[in-house]
Amino acid sequence: MTEVPVAAYLRRIGMDPQTGPPTLKLLAALQLAHLTTVPFENLAVFHHRGPRTSLDWSVPKVVDQRRGGWCFELNGAFGALLMALGFDADHVACRVWEGNPGNPTPADWGPEFDHLGVVVRLDGEHWFVDVGFGDCCLVPLPLRAGEYDAAPRRARMEPQPGGSCVLHELLPPDGDGRAAAAWTPQLHIDPTPRRLDEFDGRSHHLQTEATSTWRQKPFATRALDGTGSRVTLRRGLLRRRAGTDPFADERVEEGAPQDALLVEWFGLDDSFSR
């Protein structure tokens, strides 16, 4: 297993290398720091660079190259950082919701290993931590029944038979904050510890399947603070949100102007063009 350069990783996300022992406060600070400094982006997939799930790919990409990535890279690297800091953490597999709210069935969930998350055992609880799901919860969430304040929106955990849990978020149906919010399933979390290479098949499929949206539409997004503020860049569109307000959209010219925004907001010297 690749050794994680802990001090360099912590500096990368703006944290003091002198962190102290594992605590829930530290875990929450690490998660937020990661979400606000390391973008969730698909450029390695979009440009057919063959991103891998292994730490010898993801850790140098995040720490040395100062790039972002998708869940297999970001949560893979972040989980390894937590372990190196002394947290009792595991990489876990999640299914992503693909159906509509109300009466979910097994067919409404994506396949196993569709998403990589992290579970941390701390203070007698199991905590779900995610830095690789885009506009996701910004705080650790306990894997037990209940509703929780989790900017940018409330979250709910529902235990399932066999020890898994379903994460719901209180989302507006139209996604813009102007309609009545409804509880919407997001992830089916299996807390079974997984090896990173168990995600290889799904990673390969998502970056090579011709119909995969991951390889068709470039994007980058990151949280701006702990209140829910966020910036997202898609082809021809810059979206910004202050706190939990609706997104404000700004059309941008493709090419050099768009690439300049990629550098300004995400520190990525890259291109949205093929």
> Could you list the active site residues?
71, 115, 130
Q: Are 106 and 100 in contact (CB under 8 A)?
A: no
Neighbours of 249 (CB within 10 A): 13
User: If you ran DSSP here, which 8-state letter would residue 211 be given?
Assistant: T
Q: Are 99 and 186 in contact (CB under 8 A)?
A: no
Residue type, 89: A
Neighbours of 209 (CB within 10 A): 11
With a CB cutoff of 8 Å and minimum separation 6, the contacts of 242 are 229
Distance (Å, rounded) from C-alpha 110 to C-alpha 113?
A: 9
